[in-house]
Amino acid sequence: MSIKKQPQKTRPQDLTHKKHYNRWILFILIALFLLISLRRCYLYKNIQPPPLLSAEDTARDLDSVVIGTVLTSGEDTAIILDSTGNKEQEVQKVGETFSLVIHDTTLPETSENPVASVPVNSEGASRSTDSLFVYADPWGGRHFDSVVVGLFCKDSCLIMYSTLDSINFNSYDRPITILRNTTLWIVGQNETGENSTPIRIDYIIEKHQGKCPENMMPFMQDSKEKCMDVYEWPNKEGAVPRAFVNHREAGDSCKAVDKRLCTVEEWNTVCMGPRRLSYPYGNGYRENYCPAKEPGASRSGRFPTCRSYHGMFDLTGNLWEWTATPYKKREGYYLVAGGNWSTGDKATCSQTKYSFFPQNRYLFVGFRCCSDN
């Protein structure tokens, strides 16, 4: 007669030990994950600049880098900096002109600076292998008096810049005050040490802004100074631009504020700038620069890189814009310019259409206004 073996019962204390053991394993794994994450953040995190300041505030900030001649305010001597930010000499105070003084802060010698390892594209066109989106805010072009520039990277990367050439770069860690005409080169470096294509940005500093109303910028057309809205209607930064308006309603809106619709010729002049560019930012299409590949219209000014030489935003992409220029081959029709949020690289400074019925409203057609100064 065989004896049936009874199954061994698990003791309660064994279950308790097993539960504690599993908890310790989980705790150790979480701790290791956090340590690795913190180490990566420490090594490769993007250096975020402090909030952009006005020129007057930056003049009091001894941690900013200044491009151009620098004079103290209220002191007997001043420091003159060259275009790279290095200290040249001390001079006597001249008049009441002032900006930021840097006594002990100078940039590293160029021999110690990182060197870009990729070829230069001065038009700003990006290779398909470039995944880093490095940009300046405000973007280049014409500015008045002075401009405080912050550099940013959409992804995690090290930002470097140079005002000397496209090879010798300094690590960026503070806003840059530009007081005179300056060429700024910027580049991003990812966590593996690979550099993006250096981007050239030209800043033109003018002293006289003209007599344009608020939120309008001057430009020359047929030897006359004229004004154009900085943003699409209602011409407010951060506002959703107005669409679904026909040609007559667009013209009436401009007349209500003592303005008028822009002509195609005026629109092209402002978008192309003096270099007759294909896009507001350069001749090469860059997907991230203007709202031309978006699911819908973007708020005005959301893309700082979509700024033309004259200072107008979103001229390509976002919304087609009604103009006052009639289409010569079809009576009663008017040209629209600039493309919309889905036009992609076809949204150029010379892109126009005539096929929209002027009496109809479209979700992708808006407008901006001009005036004769």
pLDDT given for residue 101 in this prediction? 30
The model's confidence at residue 56, banded by pLDDT at 50, 70 and 90, is very low
- Specify the range with the lowest mean pLDDT, choosing from 127-141, 157-171, 189-203, 265-279: 127-141
Residue 65 β-bridge partners? 176
Edge-to-edge order in the sheet of strand 216-221? 216-221, 224-229, 369-372, 260-261
Largest CA distance in the chain: 119
- The model's confidence at residue 45, banded by pLDDT at 50, 70 and 90, is very low
Q: pLDDT of 112-125, one tens digit each?
A: 444 433 334 444 44
The pLDDT of 153-179, averaged and rounded, is 94
On the question of pLDDT at 74 being above 80, the answer is: no
Lowest mean pLDDT among 15-29, 286-300, 344-358: 15-29
User: What's the pTM?
Assistant: 0.69
How sure is the predictor about 338, in pLDDT bands with cuts at 50, 70 and 90? very high
Q: How confident is the model at residue 130 (pLDDT cuts 50, 70, 90)?
A: low
State the average pLDDT over residues 207-232: 94
DSSP β-bridge partners for residue 144: 206
Q: CB-based burial of residue 86 (10 Å sphere; 0-12 exposed, 13-18 middle, 19+ buried)?
A: middle
356, amino acid identity: F
Percent of the chain with pLDDT over 70: 69
Count of all residues that appear for the chain in the document = 373
Higher pLDDT, 63 or 286: 286
- Other beta carbons less than 10 A from residue 242's beta carbon: 19
Residue 262, number of CB atoms within 10 A of its CB: 28
pLDDT of residue 63: 38
- Per-residue pLDDT reduced to its tens digit, 78-115: 333 333 333 333 333 333 333 333 222 233 333 344 44
Residue, of 16 and 85, whose pLDDT is higher: 16
- pLDDT higher than 70, residue 267: yes
Question: Please, which residues bridge with residue 372 across strands?
Answer: 226
Of the pLDDT bands very low, low, confident and very high (cuts 50, 70, 90), residue 272 is very high
Categorize the per-residue pLDDT at 35 as very low, low, confident or very high, splitting at 50, 70 and 90: confident
Is the domain spanning 216-372 CATH 3.90.1580.10? The answer is yes
End-to-end CA, the chain: 117
Confidence of residue 230 (pLDDT cuts 50, 70, 90): very high
CB 232 within 8 Å of CB 323: no
Domain with CATH 3.90.1580.10 in the chain: 216-372
Question: CA dist 269 to 22, 33, 68, 262, 344, Å?
Answer: 70, 55, 30, 11, 21
Tell how far CA 49 is from the center of its chain. Answer: 14
47 or 352: which leads in pLDDT: 352
